Structure 1
């Protein structure tokens, strides 16, 4: 319906725009495979964004990157500790930290946005290398690492085992609690990386940064074939899901569709994907 949609420049822009949410969705994938959920990813992005943006001029680019990733890991560790070691439902824990982390972001900046980020920092995460934009390169690297973790490491086997049947995994010698903790921690690190990519691209940060990321990330994960009941997931499917959602969002924008309709479409996609997943899960169980 809109010829410019299939233009090479537009398709490349869709991938670049989708790369940030795709990185977040990869972290959510690791958590969902264990049978958990993380609703705080958007707030984690917000906290890391404002902390790094405020201190970038003082810390310098290398230290800011390290601190940002460590902060993301700590926030994920916080979620994982309450979920894995205090036996609280991850839905409740991350629903609470969704508000907790967002409040910390507002407190840290008194609700004010931060502008004027260093050009060197922005070049690393929003520049280009050999004609390929940095967000795409980072997405490819992260995708490869997540795929290797899930398919070629003991941790990946444990993640799937815990999501399939935690009791059976425990009896088989799997350390269930540390495995869940690792999943949330890795999710926090990937959210921090997404935050660095986002503020570099925008050139600013504010406490509301990342709002709504949890909905889009979960939608990408579910559309990509990861089961919300745990035990089954696809790294490449998550990437395709994120790009699909980005394509729909861009297409609706080019067609001048009301921006609020995008939320309706995203919600409908999640509902349909869950219904399809439930149908095939029951079909496999019947066999």
Structure 2
């Protein structure tokens, strides 16, 4: 794909475009890491883009306006760090709620997260009043557009998260339990694993990572858009599946997801440089997802016959 894009566009194989691709996939990578954990556990999350939007709006609102408490005539102001923590906490709470509903009430993940998608979108509109929150300052904008040692900040953040979750999934007890639950939930339960706790943690981490992605999007645009993140869960699921993570759970890796994000990023970037219609881009990405799932299902390890 890189060879085809390079031959089709002179602007593709340039250092500037290379950094641009890495910067663009950073947001998707944050979401996709959380999606990988969830799919490894045998679940799915359709609310990532909506949680991203709400978390970004909360960070922007806290940074610019703070929180007023009319009953005691107090206005709480937030620093940059406080606003970021607030956004991540919002993501964690919504992710925890997803996990709680799925484990406590036995609601299928597809249905539970679809409901959360609507809830988070509605809360975003209520928080913003349907209007963008702009003018967030240079400090906040540096997170999305600044560089450190010549490397864009979003790339640093995504790289640190990748490193952390590679270690978590490969070298910790939680990682082993995660693969066990996704591979065979009933067997994991019979061996004494706390399956529900693992699932709740997985969705909580997914929500927190969506919160980080929301901060990156908001900082890059210097604006919290009420409709931010629409369709982002599509790219995240696509990256995870293309990266080799099985939709049936128990098989896959974070590094595979990184490769999937790079494929999606190169595809998006190349189609943009070739001036392909955004509508056709959606068609092509949808076809890529279908092909990836078909290959996954055709794998001998996933065939029941």
Q: TM-score range by the shorter chain?
A: over 0.9
SS of aligned partner of 1:226? coil
The match for 1:259 among 275, 278, 281 is: 278
Deviates more, 1:246-255 or 1:35-44: 246-255
How far is 1:217 from its partner? Answer: 0.4
Q: Deviations over 1:92-133 (max 9, x none)?
A: 000111111101101111111111012112223431111111
- Matching residue of 1:47: 54
- Matching residue of 1:2: 9
Residue correspondence of structure 1 range 15-94 to structure 2 within 5 A? 15-57=22-64, 58-94=77-113
Q: Deviations over 1:220-275 (max 9, x none)?
A: 00000000000011101111111111111111111111111111011101100000
* Runs (5+) with no aligned partner, structure 2: 1-7, 65-76
The match for 1:201 among 201, 220, 227 is: 220
Deviates more, 1:125-134 or 1:251-260: 125-134
Segments ≥4 residues shifted beyond 2 Å: 281-286
SS of aligned partner of 2:229? coil
Mapped contact 1:32–1:230 kept (Cα < 8 A)? yes
SS of aligned partner of 2:280? helix
Separation of aligned partners in 2, 1:271 and 1:124 = 35
Structure 1 or 2, whichever has the larger Rg, is 2
SS of aligned partner of 1:4? coil
Q: Deviations over 1:152-178 (max 9, x none)?
A: 011111111111111100111110000
1:116 lines up with 2:135 in the alignment? yes
Instruction: Tell me which protein shows more helix as a share of its residues.
Output: 1
- TM-score using structure 2 length: 0.91
- TM-score using structure 1 length: 0.97
Separation of aligned partners in 2, 1:27 and 1:282 = 24
- Matching residue of 2:245: 226
Mapped contact 1:29–1:226 kept (Cα < 8 A)? yes
Q: Provide the alpha-carbon RMSD of the alignment.
A: 1.2
Q: 1:53 to 1:176 in 2, by over 3 A?
A: same
